[in-house]
């Protein structure tokens, strides 16, 4: 009788274990069937990247020529570059541009490239032979009809998308009297920038607010040299920052970038340009205004910064300040120096991999949301 009891007990234990195992297996199968969230996908992609691949996502370059060549192919593959900006030197016709964007995207390994352009309209317009340039922002602003800003942004966005271009470095959110600016009044400028933002979102094209925290008061061209904006923080908040604040407060950060300027704002940071300033990017833009999207520098080849620093250091300083992407528009040796500088800083722990991951996750998430 004792043997029977022991046999029965052992059989019962084995049955319970089997049932328990089956339950777990069924639960695991059920969990496996659950679709990954977007954040899960982003985390998995970033976890599968090497450090050199991550750093490549944080650099956007300009390439030369109207077709992919050995130089551009080398840059994209050797340094895992995550984005390309087009200029007229790259744009010959609609068909040629479509082929170029497709060929460039074919080099992308784990996520698509950002392919960007400055199609503001007015004095800053690329590919005029086959991309209809919008009127200047100033003329649209002077019309008093902000629906024009939305209509032109949507039209431009749709055309860029047809060509394989997924980022437009527009609208200009600066407050001033320049043809590139909607208005010298902050509230009016904010209204027109918001309308343009809506237009780009309707076209499902990434846009960029520039040039944070506003260069409308500037007197010196940043391409040539740096200058200061002698405004108090209260003055900046009350006027210059209104268009940025409007979009940040009311639009998803996955839909737009913020491009930071190369001007110095002594009321915020007496020493550094905005593009190299933690006070501007991390404290003001991230913490005070609550922006958690992609921050990109203006081109680091511009005289306002390149005259005062080495390219291997400029990219590092920009990332340490809070930028996610260092933009280097023209020369391959300078682009290489920026990439290698950031990579070396990351390898040595000067920039932590956690900090690198923060930027790359923002970039990858934006790319996944805007895949064509």
Residue 286, CB half-sphere, CA atoms under 13 Å: how many? 17
Report the helix count and the strand count for the chain, using DSSP H and E: 15, 8
> What does the DSSP assignment read for 129-141?
TTSPPPPPHHHHH
Residues whose CB is less than 8 angstroms from the CB of residue 29 and which lie 6 or more positions away in sequence, other chains included: none
Closest C-alpha to 248, from 201, 292, 202, 302: 292
Q: Which of 174, 240, 298, 324 is catalytic?
A: 298
Torsion of CA 28, 33, 36, 41, to 10 degrees: 80
For 302: left if phi > 0, alpha if psi spans -120 to 50, otherwise beta; the answer is beta
145 is annotated as an active-site residue: no
What Cα–Cα distance (Å) separates residue 355 from each residue in 46, 89, 167, 209, 359? 13, 35, 24, 23, 7
Two tokens, residue 266 = 């002594």
Residue 154 host element (H or E): helix 146-163
The Cα 7–Cα 13 span in angstroms is 10
Catalytic residues: 298
């Amino acid at each position: 009788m004792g043997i029977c009891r022991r046999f029965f007990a052992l059989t019962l234990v084995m049955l319970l274990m089997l049932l328990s195992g089956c339950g777990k297996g069924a639960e695991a199968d059920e969990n496996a069937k659950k679709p990954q969230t977007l954040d899960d996908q982003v985390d998995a992609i970033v976890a599968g990247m090497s450090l050199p691949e991550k750093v490549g996502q944080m650099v956007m370059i300009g390439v030369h020529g109207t077709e992919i060549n050995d130089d551009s192919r080398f840059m994209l593959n050797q340094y895992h570059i995550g984005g390309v900006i087009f200029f007229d030197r790259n744009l010959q016709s609609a068909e040629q541009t479509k082929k170029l964007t497709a060929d460039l995207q074919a080099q992308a390994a784990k996520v698509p490239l950002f392919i960007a352009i400055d199609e503001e309209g007015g004095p800053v317009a690329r590919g005029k032979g086959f991309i209809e340039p919008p009127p200047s922002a100033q003329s649209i602003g002077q019309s008093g009809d902000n629906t024009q800003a939305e209509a032109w942004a949507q039209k431009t966005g749709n055309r860029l998308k047809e060509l394989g271009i997924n980022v437009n470095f527009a609208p200009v959110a600066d407050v001033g009297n320049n043809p590139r600016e909607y208005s010298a009044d902050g509230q009016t400028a904010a209204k027109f920038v918001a309308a343009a933002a809506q237009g780009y979102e309707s076209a499902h094209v990434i846009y960029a607010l520039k040039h944070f925290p506003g260069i409308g008061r500037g007197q010196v061209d940043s391409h040539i040299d740096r200058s200061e904006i002698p405004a108090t923080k209260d003055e900046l908040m009350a006027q210059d920052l209104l268009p940025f604040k409007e979009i940040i407060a009311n639009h998803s950060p996955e839909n737009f970038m913020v491009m930071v300027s190369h001007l110095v704002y002594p009321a915020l940071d007496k020493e550094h340009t905005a593009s190299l300033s933690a006070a501007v990017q991390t404290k003001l833009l991230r913490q005070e205004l609550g922006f958690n999207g992609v921050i990109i520098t203006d081109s680091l080849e511009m005289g306002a910064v390149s005259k005062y620093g080495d390219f291997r250091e400029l990219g590092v300083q920009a990332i340490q300040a809070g930028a996610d992407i260092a933009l280097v528009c023209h020369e391959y040796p300078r682009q290489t120096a920026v990439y290698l500088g950031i990579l070396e800083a990351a390898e040595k722990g000067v920039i932590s991999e956690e900090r690198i991951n923060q930027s790359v996750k923002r970039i990858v998430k934006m790319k996944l949301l805007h895949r064509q």
